[in-house]
Structure 1
């Protein structure tokens, strides 16, 4: 299975002097930490999904195949990228600096042919002190998407729920970055 690394966003909530994927946690650009996790996993090929908002990231990742999106927003850019690859495909946000190959392999092992939405309990994000911009109810529990999914060729969808801090720490704000630094 291939992977798309979503690294084309503006990162306005982070208020950093660098493009969000290049923001360093423990001295490592977040996108590099994600790519290392993908390299340590059973993923066959990684494709960087960039936009006009992330030219430095595109240059930084010049050794990877790229898809350049119009940069109209995460959902729009994801749809654009998905229309250019075969499925199933793993999608990963570039703001998950704690991600590991082990975590990704567990997700890949859970794949059964249906699209897989990877979530964590909202209570875990709260306990860690990281932001949760979107939560929804799943079987009576508030959950938050992680930025990792498997998109299948079929329309069927399954939830993968993991109480793993390595999936819960998306760096969207300066406080999230501080928490990620403490875990790294």
Structure 2
């Protein structure tokens, strides 16, 4: 299995000149994610997806012995699909802005994922995120309850050959380690209180 860290976004919602994934929470945000993947011992290799939007993030990742694949940086979905078409393995995809991610929750997600499914997305309930004072944006409805994508998926990339939509399976995990994506200054401020 490959660990894939999405680290090429513009971070425009942070309204800052500094690259979002380099914001410091004990260490740069992206390194929390990289270390969680490394320490889980679940992956044959770890790859970070960067773009022209994130040159300093790319530099830090290279300094930390992470293999880099660069994309155009158009948007998350386009960049991810272009990478998945090139990989021939199971891939644990995570956003680089999940600083509470740790090796134990990574192991839990890997072991709970159904290898027969092409795409399993980790979601939380909206009510759980609201209990942490988070204001999620991308909501989906499952079993008549609102849920939120976490930015984590387990994908059988051998089955991703084009941009056609694939059936998405869901793994519901109400855990703060998977739900705090740092997208805004408010999210970053909440980080210290969780």
- TM category, shorter: over 0.9
SS at match of 1:52: coil
1:47 equivalent in structure 2: 47
Q: List aligned pairs for 1:114-153, cutoff 5 A.
A: 114=117, 115-152=119-156, 153=158
Describe the superposition over 1:1-25 as per-residue Cα deviations: whole angstroms up to 9, x where unpaired. Answer: 1111000000011123311111112
1:31: Cα distance to partner? 0.4
1:156: Cα distance to partner? 4.7
| Partner of residue 110 from structure 1, selected from 106, 109, 112 | 112
1:87: Cα distance to partner? 2.6
1:95 equivalent in structure 2: 97
Unmatched 5+ stretches in structure 2:
160-165
- Name the TM-score, length of structure 2 as normaliser: 0.89
2:7 equivalent in structure 1: 7
1:37 equivalent in structure 2: 36
SS at match of 2:13: coil
Unmatched 5+ stretches in structure 1:
none
Describe the superposition over 1:121-164 as per-residue Cα deviations: whole angstroms up to 9, x where unpaired. Answer: 11111111123120010111110000000111344532100110
1:28: Cα distance to partner? 1.4
In the comparison of the two structures, how many residue pairs are matched? 182
C-alpha distance in 1 between matches for 2:123 and 2:93: 13
Which shows bigger deviation, 166-175 or 149-158? Answer: 149-158
Q: What's the C-alpha RMSD, in Å, of the aligned pairs?
A: 1.3
- Name the TM-score, length of structure 1 as normaliser: 0.94
C-alpha distance in 1 between matches for 2:135 and 2:184: 8
Retained in 2: the 8 A contact 1:131–1:173? no
SS at match of 1:171: coil
C-alpha distance in 1 between matches for 2:191 and 2:43: 24
